[in-house]
Amino acid sequence: MTKIRIVIADDHAMVREGIRMILAAQPDIEVVGEAADGKQAVEQVRLLMPDIALMDVAMPGLGGLEAALEIRKLAARTRILVLSQYDNKEYIFRLLKAGASGYVLKSAAGKELVNAIRAVQEGGSFLDPSITSAVIEGYVKSTVMASSAYEDLSDREKQVLKLIAEGYTSKQIADTLCISVKTVMAHRTNIMDKLNIHNRAELIKYAITKGLITVPHQP
């Protein structure tokens, strides 16, 4: 039997020992390394290339979020499963966006943790049942807000948004729409303020998401 190889990262030795004891009882799971902070977690993943990095959020030095970002760049095949006492949905969103495949609360039973590990290993995702509804509600709310923000743009701002995303310069947009460059810049500022977008790359991603432009398929 091929075992699921785990690295545990938590700044409390007793917590790590408790997790190790729970996982030791599972015939298909093996703890191959431990880390007391985010920096050590990244290093353990680099050395051991585990299947899953089981990580706490609040750790000294390099925190769980920063460590998750580093691990995603370092070892794409290593899945990240967060084990935390915090149920703040904004923080959960940030970790999922950073590449975490699952989020389990420390208050959950050992069986819940084992189920999460197996689900993540099989290529799925896992959210602690007690936070699932809050996460879904937050996602729906953010989606609705993003849609509403686009509708707040004027027709001219939507035109400018599309042209910027298509790669037009401010001068080219001004010539196309028969307006001044200064007016184009003003529209661009308003667009970014309304959509809470901070640079052109984010603006292009937004335009693709909204279907304003399409990405050509590579042959």
Output the pLDDT for position 139: 52
Instruction: Determine the residue type at 73.
Output: K
- What's the residue count for the chain? 219
Output the pLDDT for position 138: 55
Output the pLDDT for position 148: 62
pLDDT in tens, 87-103: 777 777 778 778 888 88
Output the pLDDT for position 130: 66
Whole-number Å distance between alpha carbons of 20 and 31: 7
Whole-angstrom CA distances from 156 to 22, 172, 174, 184, 193 are 60, 15, 12, 10, 15
Which residue in 98, 100, 206, 87 sits closest to 146, CA to CA? 206
Question: Two tokens at 166?
Answer: 């298509």
Residues of the chain with pLDDT under 50: 140, 216-219
Report the sign of the C-alpha dihedral through residues 71, 72, 76, 82, in that order.
Answer: positive
Output the pLDDT for position 218: 40
pTM: 0.61
| Domains of the chain, CATH where assigned | 4-131 (3.40.50.2300), 152-209 (1.10.10.10)
